[in-house]
Amino acid sequence: MEDRISVLIVDDNIEFGNLIHEYMSKQNDIRVVGVARDGLEAVEMIKDFTPDVVILDIIMPNLDGIGVLENVSEMQLKSKPIFIIHSALNQDGMIQKTISLGADYYIVKPFDLGVLILRIRQFYNDKKKTYPVYKKRPSEDFSPNKSEPVTVDKKFELDVAKLLKTLGISPHMSGYKYLREAIKLTLKNSGKTKNSVTKVIYPTVAEKFSTTPQKVERAIRNAIEYAWNRGNPQGLEALYGYQINFRRGRPTNSQFIAMISDRLRIMGIDDIE
């Protein structure tokens, strides 16, 4: 099979690394390109093999998983690998740190290898289907009508609508239009507003819709609570790439906006007018 998913396994636990290797070798659509035993070796193997997917442990000698992500972020790679982080550490801070550095999924040990394979296929197929990158120039690839090419702004509207619908947030909800505008502002400012939701985003959105920042904040919070409590949990996990602990409560407004914005950047939407 020519179109196999190339995978690099990074784990200093020889027994566990070999177990993953053996299991993946039995999959017809997956090809293991190597097994790295520490972060420094992983960085070199990523340069040499440019794998589609990297299964990356966090705690390792010489250079840990965070260091690997930081190194790869500075590389001039034609295509960045999909990073699936696995660790015994189930800490929100660690999860957020890896996601902010470009990780696509975080899975906590112990885990089912069948689930790991499923996630590899999901992220790989998702990337193949939805990640063509373009900026400002019209594209006919996403247009249902070839006479009406889809611009970046139109693609943004379509993708935001699709993501929010997947989570159970529909256009008739008052928080929908505020969320859409908040996400747009975050993308437009290349993430500079990510930590200024209260001071920048809410007032700007409120001004556009002739309302108050407090009403914007409350409507967005209500929409997120609806998605969290009655929406699509599987959609949340699949979209945002890590295991969400529903017992710890919903993400904050700023976390939710940042996660959707980051997802759209991965999909090539990062130059909004």
CATH number at residue 185: 1.10.10.10
- Where residue 29 sits, what CATH number does that domain have? 3.40.50.2300
Looking at the structure, tell me whether residues 24 and 111 fall in a common domain.
Answer: yes
Residue 201 reports pLDDT greater than 80: yes
Q: What is the pLDDT of residue 145?
A: 47
Looking at the structure, tell me whether residues 10 and 126 fall in a common domain.
Answer: yes
| Domain assignment of residue 62, given as a range | 5-130
Between the alpha carbon of residue 98 and those of residues 11, 28, 127, 162, the distances in Å are 16, 30, 19, 25
Top-confidence residue, 57 or 198: 57
Instruction: Determine how β-strand 82-87 pairs with β-strand 5-10.
Output: unpaired
Q: What is the pLDDT of residue 6?
A: 96
Whether pTM > 0.75 for this model: the answer is: no
Q: What average pLDDT does the chain have?
A: 79
Q: Is residue 145 part of a domain?
A: no
pLDDT-based confidence at 153, cuts 50/70/90? low
Q: What is the pLDDT of residue 210?
A: 93
Looking at the structure, tell me whether residues 90 and 203 fall in a common domain.
Answer: no
One-character DSSP codes across 84-114: EEEES---HHHHHHHHHTT--EEEESS--HH
CB 142 within 8 A of CB 150: yes
Which residue among 97, 130, 163 closes a domain?
Answer: 130
Top-confidence residue, 77 or 238: 77
Q: What is the pLDDT of residue 198?
A: 82
Looking at the structure, tell me whether residues 116 and 190 fall in a common domain.
Answer: no
Looking at the structure, tell me whether residues 201 and 249 fall in a common domain.
Answer: yes
Split into its structural domains, the chain has a count of 2
> Among 120-129, 190-199, 254-263, whose mean pLDDT is lowest?
190-199
38-90 confidence digits (pLDDT tens):
999 999 999 999 999 999 999 999 999 999 999 998 888 888 899 999 988 87
Looking at the structure, tell me whether residues 30 and 81 fall in a common domain.
Answer: yes
CB 129 within 8 A of CB 121: no
| Highest mean pLDDT: which range of 201-210, 219-228, 232-241 | 201-210
> Among 1-5, 70-74, 84-88, 92-96, whose mean pLDDT is lowest?
1-5
> Among 16-25, 207-216, 225-234, 239-248, whose mean pLDDT is lowest?
239-248
Q: Is residue 271 part of a domain?
A: no
User: What is the arithmetic mean of pLDDT over 248-253?
Assistant: 70
Q: Among positive and negative, which fits the CA dihedral 86, 51, 65, 239?
A: negative
Looking at the structure, tell me whether residues 125 and 189 fall in a common domain.
Answer: no
Looking at the structure, tell me whether residues 160 and 252 fall in a common domain.
Answer: yes
Percent of the residues in the chain that have a pLDDT greater than 70, as a whole number: 75
